[in-house]
Amino acid sequence: MRRVYFDHSATTPVHPAVAEEMLRFANKTFGNPSSVHFFGREARKAVEEARDKVATAIGARPEEIIFTSGGTESDLMAIKGVVYANRSKGNHIITSAIEHHAVLENCKALEKEGFTVTILPVDPDGMVSPESVADAINDKTILITIMHANNEVGTIQPIQEIGRLAKAKGILFHTDAVQSFGKIPVNVDELMVDFLSISGHKIYAPKGIGALYIRRGVRWAPNSLGGGQERKRRPGTENVMGIAALGKAVEIAVETMSAESARLTLLRDRIIKEIMENYSNVYLNGHPTRRLPNHVNFSFEFIEGEALLLSLDLKGVAASSGSACTSGSLEPSHVLLAMGIPPEVAHGSLRLTLGKDNNDEDVSYFLEVLPPIIERLRAMSPLYHKVSDDCDTCGNTWCR
């Protein structure tokens, strides 16, 4: 059976050149970067080379990069590191309703410690307005954390405008760039951010490696204590293999980003056009133009997202839905709900996120297997019947 992987926002395969790099560290370069001997020096060299690559890719200085275990840890380190270090200045945090749980859950936990959190709403396209950020700022605000691009709907946020506001008020600004980095240009000075989170497994590096950018000179405190690694900012023996892999993946992303984004945009737009033209009761979620090049998200009315996913999986297509399994029940995505999408429509959402190995044939295959699935699932829905002449009188508001 043909297999089509359309779930690159969940994770990406490891790039063969990255895997090759990792083998070098499994076989030969195994030293501890803190050791003074040859083996240690080789490992240190690899770590610092990778740091240079990450820093250059985002317009930062190497000493502003800390390696972490991934996006979640980077988000946590940025948020807690800022608020604990700046407690004497204030206790107010601003974030948005569409952040990843790595941000939202940490902010909510901080409320229990006496911090106050403003969770900004978004518009129907999933955009945070800079005006709402400006309105939320008060003299106790110490941190603004707004993601660069959303993982569920792909909307790209006006980070630079928010950054300008934050800078004017002297408030530290973090952005979660886990989904945007490697797909669209990310430059810390242009975006005017003080902290930026990156994750390796979204850019063809392995899981369990990431990075946090911390602008030089900002007030921030480490979250854990231990050895002197990462200039005492993130203690623990470095994940040398993961770090080298991240460096290689970043190098490849920088080289290929513009051509790859243009290629994926064409594939993405073909999917959008075909779906929007050929189906009734379907919505494109996220911003129509300010969206990631590889990202689409639709809501199909009268469809259960999980059933859609399973049916696609049986045909070899791997995608994801707008529901998350929380304690055994399927909750509609908090992002779609924040955009004002009714829960029953949010349940029928499908996220397709494309990547380097996808091509036109994959898109054709998906577009070929989808119609009978939608037809079958809708036929099972008691609420759905095809729009017909009766519809003006049937009283079923869902039809229209």
Residues near ligand PLP (CB under 6 A): 70-72, 75, 100, 102, 147, 151, 176, 178-179, 199, 201, 210
Alpha helix segments (H runs only) across the chain: 16-27, 38-58, 71-85, 101-111, 130-136, 159-169, 188-191, 240-278, 305-314, 334-338, 343-346, 360-379, 391-394
* Residue 25, Cβ density class (10 Å: 0-12 exposed, 13-18 middle, ≥19 buried): buried
| Beta carbon of residue 72, minimum distance to ligand PLP (angstroms, whole number) | 3
| Beta carbon of residue 226, minimum distance to ligand PLP (angstroms, whole number) | 21
| Gap between the Cα atoms of 83 and 205, Å rounded | 30
Six token digits for residue 388 = 């017909």
Six token digits for residue 227 = 């050895």
**C-beta atoms surrounding 104 within 10 Å:** 19
| Gap between the Cα atoms of 360 and 50, Å rounded | 34
- What percent of the chain is helix, strand and coil (3-state, nearest 5)? 45, 15, 40
Active-site annotation holds for 325 = yes
- Between 54 and 275, CB nearer to ligand PLP: 54
Give the nearest residue (CB) to ligand PLP.
71
Name the nearest CA neighbour of 53 among 79, 10, 21. Answer: 21
| Gap between the Cα atoms of 149 and 146, Å rounded | 9
- Between 28 and 101, CB nearer to ligand PLP: 101
| Beta carbon of residue 199, minimum distance to ligand PLP (angstroms, whole number) | 3
| Beta carbon of residue 223, minimum distance to ligand PLP (angstroms, whole number) | 15
- Between 150 and 358, CB nearer to ligand PLP: 150
| Beta carbon of residue 241, minimum distance to ligand PLP (angstroms, whole number) | 16
- Between 163 and 210, CB nearer to ligand PLP: 210
Half-sphere exposure of 33 (CA within 13 A, CB side): 23
- Between 100 and 356, CB nearer to ligand PLP: 100
Q: Residues with catalytic annotation?
A: 325
